[in-house]
Structure formats: structure tokens, C-alpha cells
Amino acid sequence: MTLASRVSTQANLGNLDSLKQKWQMSWGNMALIQCQATVMGFLAAAFATSMNIANSGFNLSNALLLCASSLFTATIASLVLGSITLAVVIFSHKFNINPDNVATPIAASLGDVTTLGILAAISSYLYQIKENYVPPSIIIGIFVLLIPVWIYLSYKNPFVRQVLYSGWVPVITALIITSAGGYILEFSVSQFKGFAIFQPVINGE
């Protein structure tokens, strides 16, 4: 949603009028969200692993499974949703439609279902081979090694360079709030059967 808001603002400012501007805006924002998604995925996995250690101790296979699933889901979901969001904004701008009225609702509605689908698929596969440390280690290594690449590309892009410095506090804060909300939801589900059904509706409001 931050991508949708950021690109919509640039479109309304007239910074997407030329093909060069569209291309520069697109690859710069994609590099930035890949960087943010990788870091956020790693932090989310670290937080969940820490909570698991506090409750039941450390398990290497579970930690690798969680970290690999988190990184893969965050980066691939960001790639898919980012591409859709950029396409929606560019086409909205082309047909003189305010992208703020289109891109943000689409990003919000597709975010949960896309992320959950990718997470279910990758985690199910990795869980079947959880005793084999190689596949999750390779996944983690690839995504971590790509972080400097995303940082370099974002820094070279004038549209997102400032966000590379100042955009971390909001997303980290959102991660903390979301993680806390997850534990509240887990507690609520254990107390009230069927409560989880209403969670998307509550979030949507």
C-alpha cells in the first residue's frame, strides 16, 4: 500500500508522463520494495523464532523453515503485488483516472490472499523436507546476498533514494504492530471459536 500511495503521488505530480520516467520509477520502486521485503521478512522470522525459543526452546530445522518461508513469501508477494500496483497506476494515469482511487484498494484487497497463498505453498513444501537443511539455507542465502544489490539500485534511483533512508521506521513499526496483533488474534481464537473468520472483515474496515 505504501508503494501504491508513493507511485500515485508521483503520477499526480506529473512524473510519469514520459516513458523514461515510467521505466525509472518502476525499476526503482521494485528494487526498493524488494529490499524492504527481504529485511522485513528476516525480522519477522527472527521475532517469531525468538518467541518460539522462549516458549519451547531452539530447533534449527524449524528456524530455517520459518526464515526461508518468510523471506520467500515476502519477496515474491512484493514482486507480484508491486508489478500489479505499478501497472494499475500507469494505466490509470494514461486514461486520466486518479490512481489513488484505484491502486490502493487493489493493493489492500490482494495483499492478504496473495501472501497467504504463497506462504502456504512454500511452507508446505519446505515442511516435507524439514530435516534437509540445504534447501532452506540456499533460499535464505540467495535472498540475503541480494540485499546489497537492491540497496545499490535504490540508491541510484532519484525517485526512491530518499525513501531508502527515511522509509524504514514506518514499515518496522507496522511489522511490530502486526506481530503483536497476530498474538492477540491467536489468543482470541483460542477463547472464541470462529473468531478468525471475521479477521479479514475487521482488517478491511
The per-residue pLDDT for range 73-97, each reduced to its tens digit, is 989 988 888 888 888 888 887 888 7
Residue 194: inside a domain: no
Residue 87: inside a domain: yes
Contact call for residues 97 and 169 (beta carbons, < 8 A): no
Distance of alpha carbon 171 from alpha carbon 182, whole angstroms: 16
CATH number at residue 34: 1.10.357
Contact call for residues 69 and 122 (beta carbons, < 8 A): yes
Residue 117: inside a domain: yes
Residue 184: inside a domain: no
The pLDDT, as a whole number, for residue 201 is 60
Please give the residue range of the domain that contains residue 120: 1-162
Residue 158: inside a domain: yes
Residue 174: inside a domain: no
Grid cell locating 180: 503483536
Q: Half-sphere exposure of residue 96, counting CA atoms within 13 Å on the CB side?
A: 0
Residue 198: inside a domain: no
For the segment 159-180, the average pLDDT, to the nearest whole number, is 82
Residue 175: inside a domain: no
The pLDDT, as a whole number, for residue 150 is 93
The per-residue pLDDT for range 55-70, each reduced to its tens digit, is 777 778 888 888 999 9
pLDDT band at 141 (very low <50, low <70, confident <90, very high): very high
**Number of domains, the chain:** 1
